[in-house]
Every structure is written in structure tokens, then in C-alpha cells.
Amino acid sequence: MFRVRDKYSMGIIAGLIANTVGTVLNYISYYFGLTKYLPSHIASATFLPKSKVNCFLGLTIGLFADYGVAIFFGITITYLLYYTGTDYMWLKGISVSLLYWLLLFGMGLQFGLSKINPSQLNTNLIFLIHHILLGIIVVWVISKYDLSILDEY
């Protein structure tokens, strides 16, 4: 069996897995009209004009940017658990996810980080739920995979 031996890589893997689940749920919400935008739309609009976010290349850029943030998210939670321990790890994962949501979707979009700033209640609520799920899934992946990764060598 393949074994990850360092915390940084574990954070990357946990962030990728968590964001894959979140992306699927966001696409389902988008398909059923529960949200007006996808996180990849907002991420893409950071680099491209709003009119280009729905094209293939725009969505590709948005997905890479979104997954890049999720990787950093996973690394942050991994090191938080390493430095503070695994007691109340679910609470720690959710708290980091809420901080990211506040910084990126609260402050970042208000300061013009992206050319898309969703004002619809449903869209913002789904993004909030998405971030909470990211925190929970990252912690779950780390706990299911191997908590010994958080021990010192």
C-alpha cells in the first residue's frame, strides 16, 4: 500500500479529495439552479473577464485556481492538527474552513479579488456549506488515512 510520509503531502492529498467531493456537490447545486455560480467561476474571474469564465479554458483555469486554494486549505489544517494536536479535530477543521470562507468570500470578494461577487442568498449559503464540508472532509481524510503522520519523526 502506498503511504504518505510527510505532512505537507498529506495536506495536499486531503485538500484534493475534499475539494473533489465539494466540486461534485457544487456542480449538482448549479445544475439544479440552487446556485448562480460555481467556485470555479469566481476563481476564474480572478484572472479573466467575467464573460470568459464559462468557456472551457475559463473553467479549466478556475478549477486549477479552486484546487490550488483547496490544497493550501488542506495543508493549513494538517499543520494546525500537527501543532495543536488532534483533540477536537472536527472543530479545528470547521474553524479553519469558516476562516477561509470569511477571508475569501467575505473580505476578498468585497475588496475586488474576483470580478464576480455573488449576492444571491442561495449561492452564498451553498458556498458556506461547501467550506464547512471541506474542513470536515479534510479532517476525515487525515483521520482515516493515518493520524501517525502528525507525529514527529
- Tens of pLDDT, residue by residue over 68-120, are 999 999 999 999 998 998 899 999 999 999 999 999 888 988 898 899 989 89
- Tens of pLDDT, residue by residue over 19-31, are 999 999 999 999 9
Model confidence at 2: pLDDT above 90 = no
What is this structure's pTM? 0.89
User: What pLDDT was estimated at residue 16?
Assistant: 97
Overall residue count recorded for the chain in this entry: 153
Cα–Cα distance between 80 and 148 in angstroms, integer? 14
* Helix runs in the chain, H state only: 7-31, 39-44, 56-84, 89-101, 109-110, 121-145
Can you say whether residue 86 is alpha, beta or left, with left for phi > 0 and alpha for psi between -120 and 50 degrees?
Answer: alpha
Lookup: cell for 68: 490550488
